[in-house]
Amino acid sequence: MRGLGEQLTETLRQATGHDRLVLLCSFQKEESVILDELAAVAGGLDGIRVVTIDTGVLFAETLATWKRFEDHFGVRIEVQDAASPSEPWTGPEHCCTPLKVAGLERALGDADAWVTGVRREQAATRADAELVEVDPRRGIAKYNPLAFWTEKDIWNRILERGLPYHPLHDQGYASIGCACCTQPGDGREGRWAGTDKTECGLHVV
């Protein structure tokens, strides 16, 4: 089996063969690794759309990490607005409304491929993720270049290369979403804590 680093490089090289590629970024540790390798594979990030979906209730630390990512990787991150001023997101009952999925649809509206930080280890709902898939909802290619990486693999790469990462990871947050409903926890157990919810809808067919 190919080494994880080789898998990452080859998967991203295949992804960059698409003319209209989008990287979905939520400023997790996974996106730091992907952005670093993607810049190396593509000789920079010009022409690659890096998109985040802003719910309007992100942690202050997420906003700071956003700026660090832009500065470190030399990329301007495109924003899709998913804020809900008429029905504020104050907890899981208002979280990940159709506004968030609509933001993704806008981001991928003219894309022919997208890249995600999905890993098999993150949750049972992601255990069958492949390096390259076809997004059945949109009929475009979906790349999960870190599908087989473990938490340890991610941190080894970040530390080896001195990559920026979200400071809440150091406080026990393995996965970071909105401030109103994210708590510390392994995998995705801190997301929508106290509920059965494990996905926001972006990676659900």
Strands 49-54 and 21-24, bridge-based pairing: parallel
Confidence of residue 44 (pLDDT cuts 50, 70, 90): very high
CATH 3.40.50.150 fits 4-171, yes or no: no
User: What gap in Å lies between CA 99 and CA 47, rounded to an integer?
Assistant: 26
Please check whether residue 80 is in contact with residue 110, taking contact to mean a CB–CB distance below 8 angstroms.
no
Single out the catalytic residue among 25, 95, 178, 200: 200
- Model pTM? 0.85
Domain boundaries, the chain: 4-171
181 in catalytic set: no
Q: Reduced to 3 states, what is the DSSP secondary structure of residue 105?
A: helix
Other beta carbons less than 10 A from residue 80's beta carbon: 18
**The residue to which tokens 């997101």 are assigned:** 89
Which of 31, 191, 205, 14 is closest to 118 using CA atoms?
31
In this prediction, residues 58-84 reach a mean pLDDT of 93
pLDDT band at 201 (very low <50, low <70, confident <90, very high): very low
